[in-house]
Structure 1
Amino acid sequence: MGILAEFKEFAVRGNVIDLAVGVVIGAAFGKIVTALVENLIMPFIGLLTGGIDFSRWAITLREAQVNAAGEEVPALVLGIGNFVNTIVQFVIVAFAIFIAVKFINSLKRKHAEQPAENKPVEPSEEVKLLREIRDALRSPDTPVT
């Protein structure tokens, strides 16, 4: 089988298409979460903490300098606020995925608990014969031979 035929077989499988749809939806969901965190959650947290703007919260390790050649060397900064924003975004995405998986698992459990058909299943001939033997052994008036 040629590599193109293998790729075609791989690409048209249902799982690959589901994965592609998931990636596209995930990217869109990531943008929504980023906007939610940066524009709604973090300003509210900043208000609660006395006006701290977490997006600008940083620790400067080295100030910007001009080297001997006259070129500007940018400052060395730890962007703690951006890191906090990213952690909040991760928690929101992880919680949303947890809720989605929990919902899907509950649907699977409900589906597994439901019988395939509403009518009762007829026992096999062996089960019927074993029941007859059991009942005959329990009965006091049955002679044992």
Structure 2
Amino acid sequence: MGIFKEFKEFAVKGNMMDMAIGIIIGASFNKVIDVLVKKVLMPPLSLMTDGLKFQDKRLVLRDKLTDASGEMISDEVAIGYGALFEAFMDFLIIGFTVFIVVKFLNSLKNKAQDPKDKTVKTPKDIELLSHLTELIKEQNELLKKEK
């Protein structure tokens, strides 16, 4: 029963829900990026390169071997560098998009943590720490005047 109780506490704290939501959004985001690369970016790139389809590009190390009757003896061995190029494009787009989102969220966070900025509501803990800092400064000034 100890493991079940620990799992229940873990799930109730929100860690599990946050993680599940992140995974679901990430999977959906991956589908969007996959379509963006394969259906939006790659066709014009293929058109600019005289119909070259990157997903079909590969370096053949050994051709498919067949015997005299036409039966296959061994499969083709090839390095699919076109698929790697598409995956690299996916990575660049996802990385850039995540960078932009994190940058935007950090700017919002920085605004919210600035107690002097009244356009965004400051979290209570930051507000209290700000007041505490101001009180310490006042106390230090009073102590300096007494000396």
Q: Where does residue 86 of structure 2 map in the other structure? A: 85
- Listed one character per residue, the Cα deviations across residues 67-112 of structure 1 (whole Å, up to 9, x for unaligned) are 7xx5542111111111100000011111111111111111111011
Cross-structure match for 2:146 = 133
Percent identity for Structure 1 against Structure 2: 38
Which position in structure 2 is the counterpart of 1:27?
A: 27
CA contact (8 A) 2:46 2:54 kept: yes
Structure 1 runs (4+) deviating above 6 angstroms are none
Q: What is the DSSP-based 3-state SS (H/G/I as helix, E as strand, rest coil) of the residue aligned with 1:113?
A: coil
In structure 2, what is the Cα distance between the partners aligned to 1:126 and 1:113?
A: 22
- CA displacement 1:11-33 (0-9 Å, x = unmatched): 22212211110111100110111
Per-residue deviation, 1:126:
4.3
Aligned to 2:121: none
**Alpha carbons of 1:99 and 1:6: their partners in 2 closer, same or farther (altered >3 Å)?**
same
Shift of 1:113: 1.2
Aligned residue in 2 for 1:44? 44
Alignment of 1:68-83 (within 5 A): 72-83=73-84
TM-score (ref. length: structure 1): 0.76
Corresponding residue number in structure 2 for 1:12? 12
> Partner amino acid for 1:76?
V
Contact 2:65 2:73 survives alignment (8 Å): yes
With over 3 angstroms needed to count, the CA separation of the structure-2 counterparts of 1:126 and 1:40, relative to structure 1, is closer
Q: CA RMSD in A?
A: 2.6
Residue 80 and residue 126 in structure 1: after superposition, are their counterparts in 2 closer, same or farther (change >3 A)? closer
Bigger Rg over Cα = 1
State TM-score, norm by structure 2: 0.75
Provide the aligned length of Structure 1 versus Structure 2. 131
Greater per-residue helix proportion:
2
2:78 match: secondary structure: strand
